[in-house]
Homo-oligomer: A and B are copies of this chain.
Amino acid sequence: MNVAFIGTGVMGLSMARNLMKGGHSLKVYTRTAEKAAPLVEEGAQLYDSIAGCAADCGAVITMVGFPKDVEEVYLSRGGILDSAEQGALVIDMTTTSPVLWRQIAELARARGLRPLDAPVSGGDSGARDAALTVMAGGREEDFTAALPLFQLMGKSIVYEGPDGSGQHTKMANQIAIAGAVSGVAEAVRYAEVNGLDLNRVMDAISAGSAGSWQLRINGAKMVSGDNRPGFYIKHFVKDLRIALEESEGKGLKLPVLKKTLNTYARMEENGFGDLGTQALIKAYREPSPKADG
């Protein structure tokens, strides 16, 4: 199948490559052409417009940055809704706003397209190893049609329900992470302040009911002082903002999400957006006057 892939950042590049490896003809559009160079070397066709890229494709997949980018690639003049073929699957794999996506999906369907929201988790390594988790929303028959594509990029692929359900599931994922990583940062800071040997503490608490991916991976990085990004603070702030807006729009109060977002947003303002989420420990080690609880 001809597949258009729009947005070849770190994750998009690996995902697009895995589609090519699966035998699909890849057409690529990306804002920064150099980022697509490795794919072009491997046989992808690079286009300088969305319209050219989306023409003649059975599926158009997007993996861009922020909700405004999603809005632009789908809704701008000459964007995906103007360019994709009748009957094409249009699949947004960006983590973005469920409300925005429902609007796009409705317009897309009115034009004879088959929209799916399918954000992923698993990060760079999951994308590289085709081991992503894909959380998909839309019509189930369209999900079934897209499944062979998802299976080339991910390992655990779950149909979650109607338009926006993939995005909502990803938000639930991020909300659970927000609580877990805050708990880990507070536990590590408590242990430090009380003079404990952090490695021994990790030995004692990792196996039991305090155990989590966040404790094992990000807790270890907090202990060793490694702030390199596995997942960027700036991206987590984007996701948690969407989650908070969606919650508040429904009258739902999620105070731990809100507190965690506020702390990360202040870190981003202070220039730490390019650190990994485990750098949350900095906000506890060096609280700014406003950062207190």
A contact residues vs B (CB 8 Å cutoff): 98, 121-123, 126, 133, 135, 156, 158-161, 164-165, 168-169, 171-184, 186-191, 193-197, 200-201, 203-205, 207-215, 217, 219, 231, 243, 246-247, 250, 252-260, 284, 287, 292-293
Contacts and interface: CB of A to CB of B under 8 A. Distances in A.
B200 A171 contact: no
> How many copies of the shown chain assemble into the complex?
2
Nearest to A156: B207
A207 B131 CA distance: 11
A211 B293 CA distance: 26
A196 B164 CA distance: 10
Contacts of A207: 133, 156
A194 B168 contact: yes
B190 A175 contact: yes
B200 A172 contact: no
A175 B197 CA distance: 17
A2 to B, nearest CB: 29
Contact of A205 (B172, B204, B211, B231): B172
Nearest to A165: B196
A259 B254 contact: no
A193 B250 contact: yes
A159 B200 contact: yes
A176 B183 contact: yes
Contacts of A284: 252, 254
B161 A200 contact: yes
Given A161-B200, A214-B212, A256 B186 contact: yes
Pairs of residues from A and B, 7 with the lowest C-beta to C-beta distance, nearest first: A179-B183, A255-B293, A212-B212, A176-B187, A176-B210, A158-B204, A172-B187
A176 B205 contact: yes
